[in-house]
Chains A and B, each alone.
Chain A
Amino acid sequence: SQQGEEDPQALSIQEGENATMNCSYKTSINNLQWYRQNSGRGLVHLILIRSNEREKHSGRLRVTLDTSKKSSSLLITASRAADTASYFCATDRTGNQFYFGTGTSLTVIP
């Protein structure tokens, strides 16, 4: 079974607005990563947050991790049309493989 579940499944916002998507997982993890996928193509790594970190920033991206709630959030600020994509969280539970969530489909309307 999948480790992560993203919420919401789909999100539609106007360009310039912020987009927030959440990821929940079931077991303890070593780290959590966020990836972006453009329409049926390969995934692109966005950011990694370790289990002992609570928040991390990278450009317009802000990721938080709450290990007590087993959840993470990805915030994209000042969204652009080019941010339209699906976003996945991936967790490493055993150190041997990644478990990907179901993804959030983000549409940014110009």
Chain B
Amino acid sequence: KAGVTQTPRYLIKTRGQQVTLSCSPISGHRSVSWYQQTPGQGLQFLFEYFSETQRNKGNFPGRFSGRQFSNSRSEMNVSTLELGDSALYLCASSLVWDSYNEQFFGPGTRLTVL
């Protein structure tokens, strides 16, 4: 079974631009979560989607948004990029969202904002 895939793996953008990141979960998994990882703040939860519905959202500004499609693939979008948005963005999938279920992480998208 293929793992979680994320595209692109690396991205360089300039301030003010917007970016869209994609995540394909493991086949059959319906829950997709997104995390931002930075050296200063560590891993922080962005949002979680299940069956195309955002069920929970972390403490991030409205510039960060996401969606999930009927095939469970998910995208996250960051508008009006700031230097501080430079980070590794990780998505994780699980069969259903349940804290007793293991989350399977993708390799991440490394975003650099210049």
Interface residues of A (CB under 8 A from B): 2, 30-31, 33, 35, 40-45, 48, 50, 88, 92, 95-103
Q: Which residue of B lies closest to A42 (CB)?
A: B105
Residues of B within 8 A of A43 (CB): 43, 90, 92, 103, 105
Cross-chain contact A99 with B105 (CB below 8 angstroms): no
Q: Which residue of A lies closest to B59 (CB)?
A: A1
Interface residues of B (CB under 8 A from A): 4, 33, 35, 41-45, 48, 55-56, 58, 88, 90, 92, 97, 99-100, 102-108, 110
Tell me the smallest distance from the CB of B111 to a CB of chain A, in Å: 12
Q: Which residue of A lies closest to B97 (CB)?
A: A96
| Contact (A97, B43) CB under 8 Å given A40-B108, A42-B4, A45-B103 | no
Q: Which residue of A lies closest to B45 (CB)?
A: A97
Q: How far is the CA of A48 from the CA of B44 in the complex (A)?
A: 19
| Contact (A40, B33) CB under 8 Å given A31-B100, A88-B43, A102-B42 | no
Q: How far is the CA of A91 from the CA of B107 in the complex (A)?
A: 21
- Residue of B33, B48, B105, B108 near A44 (CB, 8 A) is B105
Residues of A within 8 A of B99 (CB): 30-31, 92, 95, 98
